[in-house]
Amino acid sequence: MSLIIDSVSKRFGDVQALEGISLEIKPGEVFGFLGANGAGKTTAMRLVLDILRPDSGTITWNGTLNSEAPRDTWGYLPEERGLYAKMNVLDQLVFFAKLHGVKPKDAVRETREWLERFRIPEYADRRAEQLSKGNQQKIQFIAAILHDPQVLLMDEPFSGLDPVNVALLKEAFLEMKDRGKTLVFSTHQMETVEELCQAIAILDRGRVVVGGAVRDVRRSTGRQVVRLAVDGDPEVTWLDTLDGVRVSRRGQDYTEAEVAPGHDPELVLQEALRRGCRVLHFEIADPSLEEIFIEHVGQIDTSERTLAPKAVHA
Amino acid sequence: MNGWRTLFPNAWYIAIREYRGRVRSRSFVIGTVILAVLAFAAMQAPILIDAVAGGSQAKVEVVVRASSLPADAQTVLDQVLNGTPAPGSNQHKSFDLTWLTSDQLSAAQKDLERGKFAALLIVDRDASSRDLVFTLRTDLPADGRPAQLIGNAVTSLAIEDRLVRAGTSTAAVLAPTRWEVLPVNSSAAAPVNSLNQEISSSLLSTGLLVLIFMAIITYGTWVATSVAEEKSSRVMELMLNATTPLQMLAGKVIGNGAAGLTQYGVIIGALFVGLVAQGPLHRAALGGSDSGMAISGLTVPLLASFMVLFALGFLLYSLLYAALGSLVSRQEDVQSATSPLMMIVMVGYFMSVFAVQAITETWVVILSFVPFFSPYLMLVRVAGGHVQPWEFGLAVVLMLVSIALALFLAARIYSAGVLLYGQRVGLRQVLKMARVSR
């Protein structure tokens, strides 16, 4: 009873877009795809949607092959937003819903409810081209969910949105989660992932480098992080001399250090007390997703190994 | 490719959306209005022709100095110059003759110099031979048509004059000659076409050819543009999740085809209104009764064949237009991507223009069965009346088969092409991709 991607590979010409990725996404879960540009996130989603077919491997939803599953199983929010520029908002949302078999009357009612919730009810009769990018994004979200899909796949849903709209969209996400939908989205924004996701997969060059429940992923390195602040010694220079400890960041409020696997972070506190320091702050934590991402993928580079469409402006 | 079962209602929804979007667009409205006005104006062409022809009437003054001219000399000249009028008709006269007596010669000469007349014809009688002698004073070219016609006319008059002097009665001289025109094959029952009918039927087939040609190019390009537009605006990805390529193809072809037919309907309406208005307008503009231009040769079988060939031709070409449209990422590239297809359309059209004059040639007969050219060449052959029913049936079957093939091919190219962005893609590459994806 879940979305299972089993050893799926996909090649475009010379580029191996996905290389034997396997994932299990549980029903009702919020799942995040992380990865640099060109890592294969968009390809993975298109494969799930059966817009593309894998070269090998299978994708099943609740035991049914994705190509056999009804099309209205899926709701899709593509990375490149697309609406009919000259068509008014209500008409095109009803059009998309009708294609999925929704009755026009229900589609109109649902659309008006969602426009109300997104605080843009007056845009129902505007042409799409008259809307701001953020508002078009909301329309796109409505288009993805009007037919009440079981699984919602969203490619970079938060990109290009201001904080208010991000908050509105997150709210809508959680609402869909409460309705028992399975949510899969890709993003660069680690804070959002830590806030919303139960499980993630980090993709790099077509492979899953690490995946699973967020907590497990954060613990997967075996490393731990200590944050320490002592009175009168903001640099805490002795920290680097400890075996298995490496300072990763010196901040105003505290100094952060990584403790290698097999070493006890408690030793840092003991050393501080041994040196007679007055400890103002001591904290043991798991590495953040961002650190893990950088560790696996390297710096979040912006150079593109792009297979997904580049924006084309006509 | 499990699209057949589920082609509708989605293809229908897409068609309706396409139709509405197209018909409400500014370019459609403006284009339709302009074409309708042109169609109406074209129907008024006979008025223009009559007006121009009326202006070219040659005014000739005839001064008779000869004695005892045959009694019906005026009738003879008039008939030879202007032809025998059909009973009851008010036909246009190329020559307007003014008959004067010898004492009016100097006044006539002055009128001629002042340009009131185009020519002055002086009729004398030779004192010794007693034959009529004619002098034409004019600045019209001596070897031009008017001068030659006047030459013919005065020759007739001179011959009549000699016969009358020899004692033959005028009535006997002018009795009409019996002659008739028969078809080459004497057993053929068909009447010989009049020149008007001939011209009308070749005009008709040319007109129908232009209709098909314009429809395929214009409305085919609409289909390609609408595909490219969906691709460039990225709506395509939403559509792909909601529908199948086959549904999209069918919807686009039907929707744009219906919009095209709407435009044609308006134009044909304007033509009809123009035809009806022609008579009254003619009377108002030029006075007198109108000559009227009936469309002869437009038979029910021809019209039916036209509609069948029109529909099949549009289907075949627009499917291919859709496939090519799916290969480009931007609307600006539609033109260049569809140019190979445009070439085929043009070649077919130009061949058909030549074929109108050569309906029975072997190459016309053979090529009229090639599906890409059938809409043109088979139509020309039908209009010319040289087609057996089985030949038409065969062409239709071949077109249906090629439409099925085009649908299959287009759906493949389309499903691969719509997700390709940025790069210009070769057809071979796309077909390869089509095989590995769905």
Domains defined along chain B, listed by start: 10-48+195-436 (no CATH), 57-174 (3.40.190)
d(CA A226, CA A147): 48
Cα–Cα distances in angstroms (integers) from residue A167 to residues A161, A200, A284, in the given order: 10, 21, 30
Closest residue of chain B to A314, computed from CA coordinates: B330
Of A52, A74, A144, the CB nearest to B437: A52
Nearest CA-CA distance, residue B437 and chain A, Å: 5
Q: Is B421 in contact with A312 (Cβ distance < 8 A)?
A: yes
pLDDT tens per residue across span B227-249: 888 888 888 888 888 888 888 98
Strands A64-65 and A56-61: antiparallel
Ordered alpha helix ranges (H), B178-234: 195-232
User: Which CATH fold topology does A222-286 show?
Assistant: Alpha-Beta Plaits (3.30.70)
Give the architecture-level CATH label for domain A3-217.
3-Layer(aba) Sandwich (3.40)
Mean pLDDT of B207-211: 85
Q: What is the pLDDT of residue B55?
A: 54
Q: Is A76 in contact with B13 (Cβ distance < 8 A)?
A: no
Q: What is the mean pLDDT of chain A?
A: 87
Residues 242-301 on B with a CB inside 8 Å of A are 242-243
Beta-carbon count within 10 A of B110 CB:
10
Question: Measured between beta carbons, which residues in chain B are less than 8 angstroms from residue A95?
Answer: 13, 17
Question: Measured between beta carbons, which residues in chain B are less than 8 angstroms from residue A140?
Answer: 238
Assess whether pLDDT exceeds 60 at residue A308.
no
pLDDT tens per residue across span A26-73: 999 999 999 888 888 989 998 999 888 899 999 999 999 998 888 889
pLDDT tens per residue across span B54-95: 556 788 899 988 888 887 888 888 888 887 655 555 556 778
The predicted model scores a pTM of 0.73
Q: Is B238 in contact with A82 (Cβ distance < 8 A)?
A: yes
pLDDT tens per residue across span B193-202: 555 566 666 7
Q: Is A53 in contact with B438 (Cβ distance < 8 A)?
A: yes
d(CA A71, CA A151): 11
**What does the domain layout of chain A look like in residue ranges?**
3-217, 222-286
| Contacts for A109 with CB less than 8 Å, ≥ 6 apart | none
Of B10, B14, B232, the CB nearest to A314: B232
Q: What is the predicted ipTM?
A: 0.78
| Token pair 């609409």 in the structure block, residue | B222
User: Sign (positive/negative) of CA torsion B15, B20, B25, B27?
Assistant: positive
pLDDT tens per residue across span B294-328: 455 567 788 888 889 999 999 999 999 998 888 88
Question: Measured between beta carbons, which residues in chain A are less than 8 angstroms from residue B19?
Answer: none
Per-residue pLDDT band at A314 (split at 50, 70, 90): very low
